[in-house]
């Protein structure tokens, strides 16, 4: 317990220890969460100083101090990231859903003279229909890509030409 800040003593409950060990064993854990869990486990199991724990985990003693302190204050919830600042979402979930649904409609059904939506045309149409006040076509393009929607192929997956399509898909939903 050397230095200006004496190391905070950490005593884990069995449940906390099991949770932290599970985090460190999982192959899908974020590296940040893995590192935090490892810091707490090392802090509870040994008399290591912050600098020694930092050397083992790959971070500075200040980082070790920070996570030990946060764990003591908030226990397991203290290992989560704090809310980050930033602007609130510009579009609601409902608006986004309506936009993605519009991409699955035929432009002809919307009285357009072309057969396939482009992100630019879709963005213009969405504003004209007053679904949103304004939207940039790149935003629409990103949403379509992330949702794996390809408006130029809507006919292939939305309207099957198989006469037995309905029978084959009964009970699928």
Q: Are residues 99 and 151 in the same domain?
A: yes
Q: What integer pLDDT is reported at residue 8 of this predicted model?
A: 64
Q: What integer pLDDT is reported at residue 149 of this predicted model?
A: 81
Distance CA 75, CA 64 (A): 15
CB-based contacts of 52-59 (< 8 A; 24+ apart in sequence): 59/35
Q: How do residues 4-55 score in pLDDT, each as one tens digit? A: 555 567 888 899 889 989 988 888 888 888 999 999 999 887 788 889 999 9
Say if 121 falls within a structural domain. yes
Residue 148 has pLDDT above 90, yes or no: no
Q: How do residues 48-103 score in pLDDT, each as one tens digit? A: 888 999 999 999 999 999 999 898 888 988 888 777 778 888 899 899 999 988 88
Domain that holds residue 115: 93-160
Say if 48 falls within a structural domain. yes
Cα dist from 84 to 72, 81, 132, 145, whole Å: 22, 8, 26, 26
CB-based contacts of 25-32 (< 8 A; 24+ apart in sequence): 32/81
Q: pLDDT confidence of 158, banded at 50, 70, 90?
A: low
Per DSSP, 9 falls in state P
Residue 121 has pLDDT above 60, yes or no: yes
Q: Are residues 97 and 153 in the same domain?
A: yes
Residue 137 has pLDDT above 90, yes or no: yes
Per the structure, the count of domains in the chain is 2
């Amino acid at each position: 317990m050397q230095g200006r800040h004496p190391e905070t003593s950490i005593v884990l409950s069995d449940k906390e220890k099991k949770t932290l060990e599970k985090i460190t064993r999982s192959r899908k854990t974020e590296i940040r969460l893995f590192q935090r869990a490892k810091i707490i486990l090392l802090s509870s199991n040994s008399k290591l100083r912050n600098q020694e724990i930092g050397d083992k985990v790959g971070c500075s003693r200040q980082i070790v101090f920070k996570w030990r302190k946060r764990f003591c204050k908030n226990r397991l919830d203290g290992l989560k990231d704090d809310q980050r600042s930033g602007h609130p979402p510009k579009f609601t979930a409902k608006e986004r859903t309506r936009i993605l649904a519009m991409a699955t409609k035929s432009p002809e059904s919307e009285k357009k003279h072309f057969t396939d939506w482009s992100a630019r045309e879709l963005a213009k149409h969405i504003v004209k229909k007053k679904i949103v006040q304004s939207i940039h076509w790149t935003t629409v393009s990103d949403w379509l890509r992330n949702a794996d929607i390809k408006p130029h192929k809507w006919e292939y997956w939305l309207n099957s030409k198989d006469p037995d399509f309905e029978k084959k898909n009964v009970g699928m939903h």
